[in-house]
Amino acid sequence: MTREGFLSRERSRRITDMIDRGDKTDKPGWVRISLHPTMTDEEAYRLLDAIEALAAHHLHWASDYRYDRQSNEFVHVRDSGAIARRVHQWFDEFGETGVLATTWEPMGLGYEI
């Protein structure tokens, strides 16, 4: 990246070449954060604290994840796929009819990783 935060043409070309080969390691990304006018100061400060903690501890926390170069995704090292299977089950079960809150409530909120 250049000093102004933009990718040079040469760097952009190297990244797209890597992506074309199936390696998304250097693919740029971003995070979108919405601050709503009804948020309390406590909620806004909690968000800022989380960003600060991530900046301070990202190298240590990264050891809890493995990176897949092809999908460009990070997966928790203890992920058994249970959450993904549960989400797919919801969509398989409800299909095109949609999901009513009363249908979700009995499912509970306990997730296994």
Mean pLDDT is lowest, of 1-10, 36-45, 78-87, for: 1-10
How many CA atoms does the CB half-sphere of 105 hold within 13 Å? Answer: 3
C-alpha of 107 from chain center: 24
Rounded Cα gap, residues 6 and 72, in angstroms:
21
Label residue 71 by pLDDT band (50, 70, 90).
confident
Q: What is the pLDDT of residue 30?
A: 79
Residue type, 109: L
Label residue 1 by pLDDT band (50, 70, 90).
very low
72 and 27 Cβ atoms separated by less than 8 Å: yes
Which residues, at least 6 apart from 15, have a Cβ–Cβ distance to it below 8 Å? 7, 26, 27, 28
Q: What is the pLDDT of residue 94?
A: 67
pTM score of the predicted model: 0.52
Bridge pairing between strands 65-68 and 73-76: antiparallel
Indicate the DSSP class of residue 113.
Answer: -
